[in-house]
Amino acid sequence: SQTIHQWPATLVQPVGSPLSLECTVEGTSNPNLYWYRQAAGRGLQLLFYSVGIGQISSEVPQNLSASRPQDRQFILSSKKLLLSDSGFYLCAWGGWLNTEAFFGQGTRLTVV
């Protein structure tokens, strides 16, 4: 069966520090991969999605970037964090059309 791993679970980082969040999927090949952010008490905002290695689509211009160095690995990065980058970051994977998205356990990022 398919599983998705996301780490770390919580992170407290100072303003201006770098960020790297990692997500890996097991049990499937060539998944669509997604990064979402959820601000406190709010809905989900799609940040990036990828349909294959090295293919990244950015939804919202911001202080973040994403990379997909391997088929089942998706990385969210920042060179310098801002206070506004705080939130709950969720990685998800999905198959082709008509399949749902399955979410990782999320990373709660607090920028101080």
Which residues from 51-80 bind another protein, rule CB under 8 A? Answer: 51
Which one of 56, 62, 65, 108 is in contact with another protein (CB under 8 A)?
108
Question: Under rule CB under 8 A, how many of the chain's residues touch another protein?
Answer: 23
Binding window for another protein (CB under 8 A); candidates: 11-19, 60-68, 76-84, 104-112? 104-112
CA distance 63 to 86: 12
CA distance 57 to 108: 23
CB closer to another protein, 69 vs 96 = 96
Coil, strand or helix at 95? coil
CA distance 54 to 58: 13
Binding window for another protein (CB under 8 A); candidates: 12-20, 22-30, 36-44, 77-85? 36-44
Q: Does 35 bind another protein (CB under 8 A)?
A: no
Minimum distance from residue 52 beta carbon to another protein (Å): 11
Q: Which positions touch another protein (CB under 8 A)?
A: 32, 34, 36, 42-44, 46, 49, 51, 90, 94, 96-106, 108
